Structure 1
C-alpha cells in the first residue's frame, strides 16, 4: 500500500504542483506535437523513481509513465467531444489512479480489490449517498408547493442551492461520525450570517421562511442519517 501512496503522491505533484498553466495550454494547442507533453511525462517518471527510491521497482515506474503518456494524449484529442471540460479531466484522473492501482497490485489484483470491497463500511457509504442527491430530491418534493410561491432569482448560479445543500449535509454527517456535534452549531451559525444580509436586502418574508424551512429539513435529514449510522 505504501508504494501505491507514493505513486499517487508523485502523480499529484506532477499533475498539479509542477505543471504550469502554459504547459497545459501548449499541450491543448499542439497536442502530441507539444514538447511539454514529453517534459511532463518525463517529470512524472522522475518523481515516481524519486519517491519510490528503489531501482528494483523501475518496471512499475516505466509502465505507469507509458500509461500516463497515452492517457494524457487521449484526453488532449477527446476534449473537444465534451461540452463540460470537467468531465474529461475527472475521467483522466480516475484512469491514472486505476493504472497505478493495477500496476502496484497486479500480482493479486482480484484478491486485493475484493478485500477492499469487503472492508468497506457499507453503512457509511449508504449514509453518504443518501445525504447527496436522494436527500436533495426528497427536499424538492417536500418544498415543491412552497417553491411555486417564491420568485426565481435569475442572478443565482444554476443549481447552486442544491450543491450547497449537498455539501452542508456531507459536513454535518462527517461531524456526527466524528462526534463533533458542536461544529454543526457553528456551521448553522455561519450559514445564517451569510444569508442574513441577502435576506435583509430583499425584505421578502416568504423567501426567508422558505430558506429557513429548507435549511432545517436539510440539516434534519443529515442528522437523521448520522444518527442511524452511529446507532
Structure 2
C-alpha cells in the first residue's frame, strides 16, 4: 500500500500544483475548467501508477467534486487546507481500497521509484504548495500594507525568495543538515533588518511570513522523511553532520 499511496500522492501534487494552469483555476466554476482539470488528474494518476484501472476514474471524479465545492467558497487559507485535506483523504482511502494498484502497474519492478516519487511530491508540497498556503495566510496583511510591501520591490521577488528558502530547508532536512536552517534564519534576518527595523507593522509582516514559510517547509520535509522510511530505500545516504 505505501507504494500505491506514494504514486497517487505524486500524481495529485503534479495535477494540482504543476500542471494546473491559471485558466483552469479561473474556470473552476464552469464545467470546462473542471473537466480539463479532472482530465489532468486522471492522466497523472495513470502515468504515476502505470496502470489503467476504473478506480482512478472514481478518484478523478471525487477530485472534481471537491474542487467544485471549493470553487463556491471565498478562498483563503482555511478553504485551501480543507480542500487539500479532502484530497489527501481520498488518496488514502483509494490506497486502502486498491492497495495492489502499484503492483499491477508498469513500474512495479522499479524498486526505488516509489521513494523517488515521495521525494518529488514532498519537494513540490514544500515549495509550490507552500507558496499558495503562505500567500493565502499573508493576503489579509498584505492588503493593509500594500504600498509598503510593494515599494521598491522587484516584481515577483518575494515569490522567488519563498520558493528558494523552502527548497533549501527541504534539502537541508533531507540531507540530515537541519541545523543549517538556523543559519538560514539568521541570514534572512540580517538581510531584512535594515528594511524593516523602523516599521513595526512591516517587521511583523515579515516575521509572520518567514515563520509560516519555514514552518511549512519543515513539516513537509519531516513528513517526507516519514514517508521514505515506509518505502524501499532510495540508496542515497544523508550527509553526515
- The bucket for the TM-score relative to the shorter chain is 0.3 to 0.5
Q: Which has the higher contact order (CA 8 A, sep 6+)?
A: 2
More helix per residue: 1 or 2?
A: 1
Larger Rg: 1
TM-score normalized with structure 2 length: 0.46
